[in-house]
Amino acid sequence: MPRKLQLKRLSEFSPRDLLMVGLPALALLAGGFWLAAQFIKPAPPDYLYISSGGAGGSYQLYVERYRQVLGKNGIELREQPSAGSLENLKRLLDEDDDTEVALVQSGTANGVNVDSLLSLGYLYYEPLWIFYRDKREFDRLAPLKGSRIAIGAEGSGTRKLAQQLLEANGLDEQNTTLLPLGGLAAVEAMQAHKVDAVFLVGAERSAAVWSLLYAEGVRLMSLTHAEAYVRRFPYLARLTLPQGAIDLTRNIPARDVTLVSPMATLVAHESIHPALIQLLLQAAQEVHGEAGIFQRPGEFPRIGQADFPVPPEAERFYKSGKPFLQRYLPFWAANLIDRMVVMLVPFVALLLPILRFAPGLYSWRVRSRIYRRYGELKFLEADVEASPERHSRAEWLEKLDRIEEDVQHIPTPLAFADMLYTLRLHVGLVRATILRRAPADKG
């Protein structure tokens, strides 16, 4: 055999053995990646549809602030105005609607199948403001019987709450004029003396509430039955608006006012991307975490599941705050790394055992070829020892020469050359046994 071919046979790995070991290992890794990919959501979209509320309402005010926060993280918040909570809820439940998140008043979902919706938490108190025109001061709803009352637009949470409280006091469409006006439209009607009372639900900063707080001749009702309402309607809370809290200079309100309040809830459809849940909660924390007339610093947002279940992503946020990577990296980078980690887990989990066992398997395949020749050699030696006269010496040597020729053509990497040379040495030992035991050829 030429020297160059011999050196080549000793210096190279066996391609066949590498393929026999490497291909199953690669297939195993590919299977692990495929399995991991089934649990990975695609990258979050760069836009999100949110259903807000009517013009001049607090929902629109806060959605605009959300837009600014999400915009800093590369997510476009696309607002869809609505009549209010009921319409927002219907949009979220409509599978043909693009809305994935909305602001919903607590208590709105009573009796509605909301299995596909998730609560991302309570955002702020949403007081019920009852404004009226009268020379007398009212602290109950019963005196409004027979009046013209703006109870909120169709599809609004204000309308639903107003109807519940009025019915509890014996007021309905049979004995009172209930008008479908809300927001700024209700304010205009009050200022034009077209209605006698207005029900508004929203933050004190909303344009509609602010306008009537400063309106001449308009009173704000303090509810003496507030505690009774809270007991009867569990989604309500009892609040006190302190004297002068709105304007100390003009002493608005002129006395402490007792209100009842549902809470604004951030509600999402179950199809929302988990990364956007985290981002929305960060925006909510920035927007609603401040102190206010009715809340302490950091009181909101807070976990709430009265109407809807809370997703695991929201529970982690309220327990641990902003995700670790997002504290140091931009949103897109942190999200990319989070998704890649899921892919790396099976890679590392499979790669370590493969790196541990693949070299041994490769070594076994190379050694097995040498061991097979050892087996042939051992059987030949045993036959010679047991029945040397079965064949002539030349025939025994011919059998040994075939084994030796086969040994010369075993592709053996350099790392296993010592085993090859040992085998050749043992071939010589068997040859000596044949010469000693087999009968010499005649002639």
Spatial strand order in the sheet of 263-269: 76-80, 47-51, 101-105, 263-269, 117-125
pLDDT tens digit sequence for 117-143: 999 999 999 999 999 999 999 999 999
Give the number of other Cβ atoms within 10 Å of residue 353's Cβ.
Answer: 11
Contact 304, 119 (CB under 8 A): yes
Confidence of residue 7 (pLDDT cuts 50, 70, 90): very low
Beta bridge partners of 340: none
What's the confidence (pLDDT) of residue 308? 87
What's the confidence (pLDDT) of residue 167? 96
What's the confidence (pLDDT) of residue 23? 78
Region label for 202, one of left (φ > 0), alpha (ψ between -120 and 50) or beta (otherwise): left
pLDDT at 2 > cutoff 60: no
Could you tell me the sign of the dihedral formed by the alpha carbons of 412, 366, 369, 427, in that order? Answer: positive
And the tokens for 50?
Answer: 């949110």
Delimit the domains of the chain by residue range.
3-34+345-437, 44-122+266-322, 127-261
Higher pLDDT, 295 or 404: 295
Higher pLDDT, 416 or 124: 124
pLDDT tens digit sequence for 418-438: 787 888 888 888 888 888 888
* Residue range 18-24: mean pLDDT, rounded: 71
Highest mean pLDDT among 9-23, 87-101, 321-335, 352-366: 87-101
Cis peptide, bond prior to residue 301, ω within 30 of zero:
yes
Higher pLDDT, 113 or 103: 103
pLDDT at 26 > cutoff 90: no
Equal CATH topology for 44-122+266-322 and 127-261: yes
What's the confidence (pLDDT) of residue 397? 85
The whole-angstrom separation of Cα 359 and Cα 347 is: 18
The whole-angstrom separation of Cα 174 and Cα 176 is: 6
pLDDT tens digit sequence for 307-341: 788 999 999 889 887 776 677 778 766 666 676 67
Question: According to CATH, what is the number of the domain 127-261?
Answer: 3.40.190.10
End-to-end CA distance of the chain: 33
The C-alpha angle 140, 143, 149, rounded to 5 degrees, equals 95
Beta bridge partners of 259: 239
What's the confidence (pLDDT) of residue 10? 46
Average pLDDT of the chain is 85
* Residue range 223-250: mean pLDDT, rounded: 94
What's the confidence (pLDDT) of residue 206? 85
pTM for the predicted model, two decimal places: 0.67
What's the confidence (pLDDT) of residue 354? 74
What share of the chain has pLDDT > 90, as a percent? 45
**Of 307, 154, 314, the residue nearest 235 (C-alpha):** 307
What's the confidence (pLDDT) of residue 186? 94
* Residue range 383-410: mean pLDDT, rounded: 84
pLDDT at 152 > cutoff 70: yes
The C-alpha angle 108, 109, 114, rounded to 5 degrees, equals 155
* Residue range 180-188: mean pLDDT, rounded: 93
What's the confidence (pLDDT) of residue 342? 67
Question: According to CATH, what is the number of the domain 44-122+266-322?
Answer: 3.40.190.10
HEC string of the chain equals CCHHHHHHHHHCCCHHHHHHHHHHHHHHHHHHHHHHHCCCCCCCCCEEEEECCCCCCHHHHHHHHHHHHHHHCCCEEEEECCCCHHHHHHHHHCCCCCCCEEEEECCCCCCCCCCCEEEEEEEEECCEEEEECCCCCCCCCHHHCCCEEECCCCCCHHHHHHHHHHHHCCCCCCCCEEECCCHHHHHHHHHCCCCCEEEEECCCCCHHHHHHHCCCCCEECCCCCHHHHHHHCCCCEEEEECCCCCECCCCECCCCEEEEECEEEEEEECCCCHHHHHHHHHHHHHHHCCCCCCCCCCCCCECCCCCCCCCHHHHHHHHHCCCCHHHCCCHHHHHHHHHHHHHHHHHHHHHHHHHHHHHHHHHHHHHHHHHHHHHHHHHHHHHHHHCHHHCCHHHHHHHHHHHHHHHHCCCCCHHHHHHHHHHHHHHHHHHHHHHHHCCCCCC
Higher pLDDT, 229 or 415: 229
The whole-angstrom separation of Cα 443 and Cα 392 is: 12
What's the confidence (pLDDT) of residue 375? 84
